[in-house]
Copies of this chain bind each other. A is one copy, B any other.
Amino acid sequence: MHILITGAAGMIGRKVTERLLKDGKIGRREIVKLTLHDVVAPDAQPTEKTTILPIAGDISDRSVVDRLLAEKPDIVMHLAAIVSGEAEADFEKGYAVNLDGTRFLFEAIRLKNYRPRIVFASSIAVFGTPFPEPIPDEFHLTPLTSYGTQKAVGELLLNDYSRRGFFDGIGLRLPTICVRPGRPNKAASGFFSNIIREPLKGEEAVLPVSESVRHWHASPRAAVGFFLRAAEMDLDALGARRCLGMPGVSVTVGEQIAALRKIAGDKAAKLIRREPDPVIERIVSGWPTDFEARRAQEQGFEADTDFEAIIRAHIADEHDGRAPVMG
């Protein structure tokens, strides 16, 4: 089996790649080759079982997409995207990569006339306020960003191309990934991870919103599990509605901090500095807080059990089970 991952140098892309190389198979089928795409060539190393073809390029360039599909990969995990903030700041680039790039990929597959599995990374950004809490699976998509719009268009195309039999597709609306490893970033959502990751290292973190803010989270580990499940499951049960809200953990910032305190003690919790930022408060107030995600759960997608489990997964994956600051 040959798997193509677009956006393979991103955080989730790297973790999915690692896991695939470690497992060496999906279901019962051996993975003999990974084609790893990103704007810079991903640097994963081949194993005895699995060769790696790195391809650097912009998926809004049709010739790049043609190279990605040249060997007709059996599974395509499409994660490449311009992120929310950049797609909002650079309208043309966002549409070029997130909409045209996705369509070029789907079109290239259609014209190759085979029927691979496509796993498309969508996002809860397809939803925009006002909405009920929790949001049911049948609630309409009302994105309030260009990024969310582009993901929602990708979902519609994926449904139609699947219905027409050009490929066998599934879209995963990912919760906010928490705890994101690496350095603090300036994404408006960054603080959800910063306030856990930094104190565990003994570093200060800034909390720009009130503790009553509620949001929807999944660990990187759970997200990797979603992609593996989506790659191997039978999609016929989904019918024509191929895009699913992934299960997650709905918690307030206060509950996040309580979980951190339980695992890493007051010493960690005290490293969180309150510094209210009205701009971030306003942005975050338009974000979804909770989902039913019933269909995904019926299809065997598994969320983290609670926010403590999310922190423990982070400590296991990024600190080999023992963070510098622990209770």
Residues of chain A having any CB pair with chain B under 8 Å: 91, 128, 138-144, 146, 149, 152-153, 156-157, 159-160, 163-164, 240-241
* Chain B residues closer than 8 Å to A163, beta-carbon distance: 144
List of 4 A-B pairs having minimum Cβ-Cβ separation, nearest first = A149-B160, A140-B140, A149-B156, A153-B153
* Chain B residues closer than 8 Å to A91, beta-carbon distance: 164
Closest residue of B by beta carbon distance from A146: B160
Are B164 and A159 in contact (CB-based, < 8 A)? Answer: no
8 Å CB contact of A138 from B128, B139, B149, B241: B139
Closest residue of B by beta carbon distance from A166: B91
* Chain B residues closer than 8 Å to A128, beta-carbon distance: 240
The distance from the CB of A100 to the nearest CB of chain B, in whole angstroms, is: 10
Known: A128-B240, A141-B140. A153 touches B146 (CB 8 A): no
Are B139 and A164 in contact (CB-based, < 8 A)? Answer: no
The distance from the CB of A134 to the nearest CB of chain B, in whole angstroms, is: 14
Are A149 and B157 in contact (CB-based, < 8 A)? Answer: yes
* Chain B residues closer than 8 Å to A143, beta-carbon distance: 156, 159-160
Complex: how many Å from CA A160 to CA B142? 10
Known: A91-B164, A164-B91. A241 touches B149 (CB 8 A): no
8 Å CB contact of A139 from B140, B146, B157: B140
Are B141 and A240 in contact (CB-based, < 8 A)? Answer: no
Q: Which of A142, A156, A157, A240 is packed against the most chain B CB atoms within 10 Å?
A: A156
Q: Which of A140, A141, A152 is packed against the most chain B CB atoms within 10 Å?
A: A140
Complex: how many Å from CA A152 to CA B159? 12
* Chain B residues closer than 8 Å to A160, beta-carbon distance: 143, 146, 149
Known: A91-B164, A164-B91. A240 touches B142 (CB 8 A): yes
* Chain B residues closer than 8 Å to A240, beta-carbon distance: 128, 142, 144
Complex: how many Å from CA A91 to CA B161? 10
Known: A149-B156, A152-B156, A160-B149. A141 touches B141 (CB 8 A): yes
Sample of 20 further A-B pairs with CB below 8 A, known A142-B240, A149-B160, A153-B156: A128-B240, A138-B140, A139-B140, A140-B140, A140-B141, A141-B141, A141-B156, A142-B159, A142-B241, A143-B156, A143-B159, A143-B160, A144-B163, A144-B240, A146-B160, A146-B164, A149-B157, A152-B156, A153-B153, A153-B157
